[in-house]
Amino acid sequence: MWQSNLYQFGSSPFPLSALSDIYPSTKHISDKARRLEQEGRIIRLKKGLYVRSAEDGAEPVSELIANHLYGPSYVSMQSALRHYGLIPERVYATQSLTIKHSRSFDTPLGRYDYFSCGVNYFPIGVTQHHDAGIQFLVASPEKALCDLLVKTRRLEFDSPDVLFDYLENDLRFDTDALKTMDVEILRQCCANATTRRNNIALLIILVENGQ
């Protein structure tokens, strides 16, 4: 069976310099990268960062790409909720939080949006996904929902009932999941968030009431 000499990268993004290790006799590695890109074997995500294509036998993973494209960061908001099967709709962009400035990247594999947060808020409720050798950082369901509530513009609630209606009817969130959420993660998020803390406070009420 044919095996690409790029196989060692798997589904992980890699820098341009990494190509020198598998093409040691190539003097101009940037020219080699352009040829591989023209052949459809690699995809340029941004300057100096690539990933193997499906045509080369890889299966690009959007969450893994998100971690490498701009970091430190972790996948969150609707992207994480979709990852856990807590919302039914597909998400048009992969959403992440970062301690850097907010940014967006449009790549051949889709759009990646990054929302800035404080250094104390960042690590709360962040977990490492492991599956078939693929690892990436993703928010827990609790943290993903908090991130959504504090980072979505013009999203303000004045009562638990109004928030619950938004979750159930607008977000189409699986509200049964509220019964098993770790309220301590929510409290930590509320204490360290810099905006829209009231939204998280209302979420805490919903969780504590077992709604």
Residue-wise pLDDT tens digits, 41-84: 999 999 999 999 988 888 889 999 999 999 999 999 999 999 99
Quick check: is 24 in a domain? yes
Q: Check: CB of residue 137 under 8 Å from CB of residue 126.
A: yes
Instruction: Please check whether residue 1 lies inside any domain of the structure.
Output: no
* pLDDT greater than 70 at residue 85: yes
Q: Which residue has the higher pLDDT, 75 or 29?
A: 75
- One domain, residues 36 and 132: no
In a domain, 142, yes or no: yes
Residues 40 and 123 in one domain: no
Please state, in angstroms and rounded to a whole number, the distance separating the CA atoms of residues 141 and 185.
10
Half-sphere exposure of 91 (CA within 13 A, CB side): 24
Query: Cα-flanking dihedrals φ and ψ of residue 169, to 5°?
Result: -105, -35
Encoded tokens for 89: 């709709």
Q: Would residue 197 count as lying in a domain?
A: yes
pLDDT band at 1 (very low <50, low <70, confident <90, very high): very low
- What is the pLDDT, as a whole number, of residue 26? 77
**Same structural domain, 149 and 90:** yes
Please indicate, yes or no, whether residues 76 and 44 belong to a single structural domain of this protein. Answer: no
Q: How much is the pLDDT for 194?
A: 92
> CB neighbours (10 Å) of residue 176?
9
Parent domain of 14: 8-56
Which one of 37, 56, 75 terminates a domain? Answer: 56
Domain annotation covers residue 135: yes
Residue 169 belongs to a domain: yes
Q: Is the same domain home to 20 and 121?
A: no
Contact residues for 178 (Cβ-Cβ < 8 A; gap 6+) = 167, 206, 207, 210, 211
Backbone phi and psi for residue 49, each to the nearest 5 degrees, phi listed first: -130, 130
Tokens linked to 115: 């929302």
52 and 72 together in one domain: no
**Residue 2, domain member (yes or no):** no
Q: Give the pLDDT score at 126.
A: 98
Task: Work out how many domains the chain is built from and give that number.
Answer: 2
Task: Specify the pLDDT at position 4.
Answer: 67
Residue 118 lies in a domain: yes
Query: 39 exposed, middle or buried (CB, 10 Å; 0-12, 13-18, 19+)?
Result: exposed
pLDDT score, position 27: 79
Residues 110, 75 share a domain: yes
Query: Is the domain of 198 the same as that of 158?
Result: yes
112 and 20 in one domain?
no
Residue 34 shares a structural domain with residue 74: no
